[in-house]
Structure 1
Amino acid sequence: MFADGKHRFAVFYAWTFAIPFILSLLFTYYPDPFFPLHGGPFEFVPLLQETMQNSGVTLRGGALVPLLTAVSAEPVLVIAAMGSVIPALVALGLVGYYGGGAAVLQFLGQLRPWIGTSAADGLRSWGLLCLSVIALQLCVFAFQYALTGVAGWKVSLNPHLLTGAAIWLLLEAMFLNQGGLLEELGFRGYALPCLQAAMSPIRAAIVLGVCWAVWHVSRDVLFQTPMSVGWGMYLLAYMPLFTIWCVGGSILMAYFVNRTGGSALAAIAVHGFLNDGALVSGVVEGGDPGLQMAARSLIVGIAGLFVFLLAGRQLGLAPDRKVIAERAPA
């Protein structure tokens, strides 16, 4: 079905990149068409900051419920907050275009926790997934704590993880995270099988990780990140560090997607936990945000390298499955 996986990926990525990038440019430089939604003129970043401050809601690593709670009074901000859903919408559109309604239903079947494997194998894979992502964030916590003297920040455990709220926070981090829940049906549900049909799983994960990092440029333009840190710093430091994080995370997600027979839900869980809405990696106060990003990127990059060394080029893709894409709709 993915006889030309590279072509299918190119079409997917072109739409997935172009739509949010155009919207970001409109919000940033020509927001006039959106003025009626707000009830008058606005500037996106100041409006977002004011809304967040007035809401009293604390955002936690892209946790979707707090985010939507904070921006619910501003329709313009809700639209921007839900921009991460574009990869999933593009994927659904392409699946429907190439295969019709039946293919869409089959594609949505990738939201099952495991596919074509026994419940015992599926549960083992999910157990390993949960232990791995928690261990990864605890490594981030330990690394950041060790850097306290150098970084000048204070790192402490999230006290809510020692209460009855811990289970909810962990489940929320895995399944109700903005990035994981909204993006992964597109990126790891559709794009990964396309690439794995055309190249080895490790190469597919790396290519997708780099493309995934570049896809976030539209978000950075919207939030004026290049302008605030300077384009030189953005291109020479911020993007390379973020790309390491994305490539490492992409390898982790590809491994668990393959282990579960093509489950996009596994990617949603890994991505969500990498964003760490539960703050398992600790509460960091003070210090340089750039150094914090570097610490997190280094740990996630090392985790991706470790998975590659452990699982090999196939990244958990069983030989009898050939490629996930052979069972997935186009």
Structure 2
Amino acid sequence: MTISSARPEAGGRPGLLARRPLTSFFVMAYAFSWLVWSPWVLGEDGAGLLPTRIDPALIGYLNAAAILAGPTVAGLVMARVTGGRAGVRALLARLVLWRVGVQWYVVALVGVPLIMLVGTTIWAGAGPTSGALGGPSYLLTYVVTFVLVTVLGGPLFEEIGWRGFALPRMQSSLGALGASVVLGVLWALWHLPQFLVPSWAASSGGGGVSGILLFTLTAITFTVVITWLFNHTRASLLIAVLVHSSIDTFSITLGALFPPDVLASAMPFMIGFGAVALVLVAVTRGRLGYAGRQE
């Protein structure tokens, strides 16, 4: 089916994609990403389903390609289906929606790392290792890592789909809290193929059913916080990308500040973001700043 055939003909019935935009988006996002991820799952370091080795550099390319092929392509396709070229332009315009108030940048770039630091400290029962970051030069390293993570690690391209296309439509039918819970679950389960790779599972809070469950609950808390920021910044995708990037980048920093066993579980993030999410839900009565249709 071509994109144009999914749109309503003159006086006719909309195509399947247009009739079920959210279902179509998630099916495409999962299918495209899982298909691209499959070589990694089948053979990374001989630990996958087949005893073949994949070059570590190729793993990075597969990961980036899976993100681009999944939520990015699915989001852009569905924006085109539901809104034509204007729909695609409107979605992409929110990537550069930067006039949102300096306080939201502070929350995204400083507040999010502080939440992670406090949660990890509580879980570890001790403070971070002093001097582990190597002095003032760390700031430059952090900025460079932040940019690389944003562009290559997922935040920029994932958010085009999750918060760019899906969240506004989910909020209009489920409300802010309901949309955050459902999107958090679907966002987490999108990662399922990666849990078949031991090295990825170990770096994401552990594998097995308990690890996946905790990862999913943590993704819901992430989503509640991102939704709150998203709704207070006129649906700015830029802020959503910055929050996502802060989470991913500061996770690397925490690995230098705390012993490896502390971050072997997603509990540090669950503690920090879980507490913040509960406060936001209570204070906003579940609305999370949502004031109406955004798509």
Match of 1:268 among 241, 247, 251: 241
In structure 1, C-alpha distance between the alignment counterparts of 2:19 and 2:273, rounded to whole Å = 27
1:216 equivalenced with 2:196 (yes/no): no
Q: Check the 8 A contact 2:95/2:238 in 1, yes or no.
A: yes
Find the counterpart in structure 1 of residue 232 from structure 2.
259
Match of 1:104 among 82, 88, 91: 88
Structure 1 pair 202–158 and aligned structure 2 pair: CA distance change class (3 A): farther
In structure 2, C-alpha distance between the alignment counterparts of 1:174 and 1:249, rounded to whole Å = 20
Structure 1 pair 132–29 and aligned structure 2 pair: CA distance change class (3 A): closer
In structure 1, C-alpha distance between the alignment counterparts of 2:142 and 2:126, rounded to whole Å = 26
In structure 2, C-alpha distance between the alignment counterparts of 1:175 and 1:201, rounded to whole Å = 31
In structure 2, runs of 5+ residues without a counterpart are: 1-16, 45-49
Q: Check the 8 A contact 1:158/1:279 in 2, yes or no.
A: no
Q: Check the 8 A contact 2:195/2:201 in 1, yes or no.
A: no
Amino acid in structure 1 at the alignment position of 2:54 = L
In structure 2, C-alpha distance between the alignment counterparts of 1:26 and 1:307, rounded to whole Å = 40
1:123 equivalenced with 2:107 (yes/no): no
In structure 2, C-alpha distance between the alignment counterparts of 1:295 and 1:27, rounded to whole Å = 28
Residues matched between the structures, number: 267
Q: Check the 8 A contact 1:209/1:246 in 2, yes or no.
A: yes
Amino acid in structure 2 at the alignment position of 1:82 = A
In structure 1, C-alpha distance between the alignment counterparts of 2:51 and 2:94, rounded to whole Å = 39
Q: Give 3-state SS (helix, strand or coil) of 2:89's partner.
A: helix
Find the counterpart in structure 1 of residue 261 from structure 2.
287
Identity between Structure 1 and Structure 2 (%): 19
Q: Check the 8 A contact 2:149/2:248 in 1, yes or no.
A: no
Find the counterpart in structure 2 of residue 200 from structure 1.
175
**Deviation string, structure 1 residues 262-307 (Cα, Å, up to 9, x no partner):** 111111111111123474535233436534x222223222222222
Find the counterpart in structure 1 of residue 25 from structure 2.
12
In structure 2, C-alpha distance between the alignment counterparts of 1:271 and 1:238, rounded to whole Å = 20
CA RMSD of aligned residues (A): 3.3
**Shift of the alpha carbon at 1:5?**
10
In structure 1, runs of 5+ residues without a counterpart are: 32-41, 52-70, 149-153, 326-330
**Shift of the alpha carbon at 1:224?**
4.6
In structure 1, C-alpha distance between the alignment counterparts of 2:180 and 2:252, rounded to whole Å = 26
Find the counterpart in structure 2 of residue 78 from structure 1.
61
Amino acid in structure 2 at the alignment position of 1:136 = I
**Shift of the alpha carbon at 1:78?**
1.3
Structure 1 pair 157–259 and aligned structure 2 pair: CA distance change class (3 A): farther
Find the counterpart in structure 1 of residue 54 from structure 2.
47
Amino acid in structure 2 at the alignment position of 1:263 = S
**Shift of the alpha carbon at 1:203?**
0.9
Find the counterpart in structure 2 of residue 113 from structure 1.
97
In structure 2, C-alpha distance between the alignment counterparts of 1:11 and 1:91, rounded to whole Å = 10
Amino acid in structure 2 at the alignment position of 1:179 = G
In structure 2, C-alpha distance between the alignment counterparts of 1:224 and 1:145, rounded to whole Å = 24
The TM-score, its normalising length taken from structure 1, stands at 0.69
Find the counterpart in structure 1 of residue 284 from structure 2.
311
**Shift of the alpha carbon at 1:220?**
1.9
The TM-score, its normalising length taken from structure 2, stands at 0.77
**Shift of the alpha carbon at 1:324?**
1.6
Equivalent positions of 1:58-77 (< 5 A) are 71=57, 74=58, 77=60
Structure 1 pair 196–171 and aligned structure 2 pair: CA distance change class (3 A): farther
Structure 1 pair 104–216 and aligned structure 2 pair: CA distance change class (3 A): same
1:234 equivalenced with 2:223 (yes/no): no
